[in-house]
Structure 1
């Protein structure tokens, strides 16, 4: 996954990296989630987009396929499928006529289009036709919203129509309601698979693309924090369009542009040094400015020699689990009602003032740097109250004490 704000060359680097994988003998698919459709612009051609149809996969070079996912076309296609399934249920309609809705009206429902794109990506992964799937993601704010969509939907469904209620409907005499319950169960299973794929450190990783500017670096730090909170593995941070070194000026008569260039490069080096200090163990990779804008297969192929095509997968499952964003619960001290338990989870907060904690039943709500996650507490912690929390480097530590009303005696 290539994540970054507009203007940092995210799409270009995604294409160049994909070509580097192809050169290493891998079969690669580039999938664009960016509704601006800049993937075709970077490759130098336009994809065919017929209104109301889902664009297909296009081969652009041996071993390299591309697809631009149109979320609205996906919404229209999948919505018609759901209506068709429900119509087969017969029975009473209880005054509900889904067919009366236009699919475009559903675009206002939060997360619907984002979820459909993620589901489509998961299905492409399961097809197993490619060794590497490179995602060109939309701008960072949109991408973070997409990443939170699965947990958001699953949380809503669990509270509005929990599994036991759906099971009762599926076993009831109302055939239409039974079909609806089965459809919702299928949606839940699909979205759960998407969420698990994103959080699987053995299969999925992200590369944050930025430029050597203070504002862009600050955003990259917040994105890294949000990615850690959501359990996404960050492989590296790529600083694009860095100015190359040049000889120092020979004297005061040197052209002013040389002094400007050296001053600008010194500013970039200072920003990069700050980023490396904040990135911790995440590698920071520098990509030099190419001068001319790399557009088209030939230019992108040349750029591919400057990017790394290292494996995106973690071969050791134990290492993948250890590096995941899932909380780790440990007993710290005491016994019985005087016990203290800790829950630790990776959280490299860019701005500690944004850290927020809350408790809703058996879940802990954690928010930081504009991202919020609902974390299901371990059974032992569900019988405890929150004692306190602190940031320990790049980790959040939350302490719990047993609740006398719930603790077994």
Structure 2
């Protein structure tokens, strides 16, 4: 549709916290507001169908299609193995062409199922599929029900990791030479790799586009979950993802206080449990500065099926944040900002400033590999390509400053232009 830019909304959370239910309710609230919505599951447990009370067909060797479950709401469960088998057939057909050259490689002897053991293959295929769906602009918003937190963080690292490996192992100029060479099979392989690089680059750019893509972190009101949520937020920001808000799910609604000593013990347990939840929420709000922490109350019976989720979506609509315009941008860009802090020439001091709300400062690690700065914190690492001026500098120090990492650089006399 001309002029439409599909927005991507990721629901990330620990398994068993009602993440899928909230994703479905939010998608329904968008649809009820007149938006065209696609909800997609990246979780291989396929709990999206369970939440909607709908059985998605998963025929062996077939890529499941998009199903409409209510006006304005489409659903798809992505099967990474089926995607791999479907894409693998095309690669085998291209590389299996008889060119008269025997390179000692029989790619047709490989089984697609074996390739799922390669790190990141399944995740990349699912992300590429999502990026292609977003590029079609048939929907206003795509809501992603993501795998559990640790798995999703690993998925987010897949595109930049693959692109970095390809650039070092088979750089673009070498692929170009292969593509125009006399070896047809090598030329086809180079062309195929260029298509893969283009597709993965599109994924990386979409996930890092703060005007189009954001995430909601779903958690519960427990002290251990609060600590985990802080680490997940830190890791997500480090990886360049826009984090819009944290939703604390299944919070007990308020109840009247006991009227006397004869009150049933269950009432005292309820009030005590709710007080513990409120303490956990207060801690979360203190520690996650700059990000809204929202509450989704416990609904009692589990909402399963479109009807029950539609009722839940009414509460979502009534919330001041949930169901809001998906085009909103609440956080600054995750890209580093570079400026000259003082001095000129060889006496200059440059700073690179990037968002990094580290949960545990002791986990912060910095390294330098050629023109990249390696930043690690809270269990994840990111390669940050340095600006051209910083590539001719040396790291002179670093500090954490109010949710930002500030790295100082001074010119390297050996390469600084004179």
TM bin, normalised by shorter chain, reads over 0.9
TM-score normalised by L of structure 1: 0.97
Residue in 2 that maps onto 1:231: 240
Paired residues in the alignment total 404
SS in 2 for 1:137: strand
Residue in 2 that maps onto 1:312: 326
User: Pairwise mapping of residues 251-400 of structure 1 onto structure 2 (< 5 A)?
Assistant: 251-307=260-316, 308-314=322-328, 323-400=332-409
| RMSD of aligned residue pairs (Cα, Å) | 1.2
SS in 1 for 2:260: coil
Residue in 2 that maps onto 1:59: 68
Aligned partners of 1:91 and 1:176 also within 8 Å:
no
User: Pairwise mapping of residues 58-207 of structure 1 onto structure 2 (< 5 A)?
Assistant: 58-88=67-97, 90-207=99-216
Structure 2 Cα separation of the partners of residues 91 and 407 of structure 1? 52
Q: Which of 242, 245, 256 in structure 2 is aligned with 1:247? A: 256
Displacement of 1:106 in angstroms is 0.6
Displacement of 1:91 in angstroms is 4.3
Runs of 4+ displaced beyond 3 Å: none
Displacement of 1:90 in angstroms is 2.5
Structure 2 Cα separation of the partners of residues 382 and 118 of structure 1? 31
Structure 1 Cα separation of the partners of residues 205 and 163 of structure 2? 12
Aligned partners of 2:46 and 2:77 also within 8 Å:
yes
Structure 1 Cα separation of the partners of residues 99 and 23 of structure 2? 48
Structure 1 Cα separation of the partners of residues 101 and 120 of structure 2? 30
Structure 2 Cα separation of the partners of residues 296 and 343 of structure 1? 49
Displacement of 1:95 in angstroms is 0.8
| Runs of 5+ consecutive residues of structure 1 not aligned to the other structure | none
Structure 2 Cα separation of the partners of residues 344 and 89 of structure 1? 54
Displacement of 1:89 in angstroms is 7.0
Cα deviation, 1:124-145, whole Å, max 9, x if unaligned, reads 1111111111000000011001
Displacement of 1:223 in angstroms is 1.0
Aligned partners of 1:294 and 1:300 also within 8 Å:
yes
Assess, with a 3 A threshold, how the Cα gap between structure 1 residues 91 and 343 changes in structure 2: closer, same or farther.
farther
Aligned partners of 2:27 and 2:143 also within 8 Å:
yes
Cα deviation, 1:29-65, whole Å, max 9, x if unaligned, reads 1100000000011011211111111111111111111
Structure 2 Cα separation of the partners of residues 93 and 294 of structure 1? 59
Aligned partners of 2:206 and 2:212 also within 8 Å:
yes
